Amino acid sequence: MSLLGEPAPDFTVENTGRKQVSLSETLESGPTVVVVFRAGWCSFCAEQLQTFSNLAYDLWFNHDTDVVAVSSDSIGNLTEMRDRYELTIQLCSDPDFEVTEAYTERREHPRRPDYTRSGLFVVDEEGIVRYEHVSEAANDRTYANAVRYYIDAEYEDPFGYMPGSSV
């Protein structure tokens, strides 16, 4: 399933600051980067989120872009992850896998019922998915700096290295 070029599914989730976050509200001020990640136990997810944490202010200040990071993990586990990795972005909980199933998918795993595919989506001001990268492997990720250049180049891949698909 690909969302590329399609309207992004709207959602409302609770973040680690105990506030409700909806995609439609974040889009009112500009584009939104939706990061769907596995859980607090995933070191590859933490590494990717750290890049967005480091650039979140720049994305917001210079590009009017919000970052919404969503996992099926509980608020408690996500708060622990946020604090352990000193993330400055709030992480959002999707305990019923609604966002995960709308954007990536849930995978069967013998030891982890919360195993999902990770994905990154750039949603433009009109609510259209302009970039998507659903990870095929744990270490297959798009990082914040590439997304920043992509948005700055008006949704064009300026260097030809972004691993996902774009329109």
- Note whether residue 2 is domain-resident: no
- Note whether residue 167 is domain-resident: no
Phi/psi-derived region of residue 160, left when phi > 0, alpha when psi is between -120 and 50, beta in every other case:
left
Residue 9 has pLDDT above 80, yes or no: yes
The DSSP output letter for 109 is: -
Range of the domain at 47: 12-162
Tokens 């070029």 appear where?
5
Tell me, what amino acid is at 146? A
- Note whether residue 3 is domain-resident: no
User: What dihedral angle (degrees, nearest 10) is formed by the CA atoms of 83, 89, 93, 99?
Assistant: -150
The closest alpha carbon to 70, from 91, 43, 96, belongs to 91
Which domain CATH number covers 21?
3.40.30.10
Is-above-0.75 flag for pTM? yes
Q: For 43-100, what is each residue's pLDDT tens digit?
A: 999 999 999 999 999 999 999 999 999 999 999 999 999 999 999 999 999 999 999 8
pLDDT score of 116:
76
Token pair of 160 as six digits: 């030809």
The closest alpha carbon to 53, from 145, 156, 135, belongs to 145
- Note whether residue 7 is domain-resident: no
pLDDT score of 84:
96
Residue 134 has pLDDT above 70, yes or no: yes
Report how far residue 3's alpha carbon sits from residue 152's, in angstroms, rounded to the nearest whole number.
21
- Note whether residue 5 is domain-resident: no
- Note whether residue 149 is domain-resident: yes
Domain count for the chain, please give it.
1
Q: For 89-128, what is each residue's pLDDT tens digit?
A: 999 999 999 998 999 977 666 666 666 788 999 999 999 9
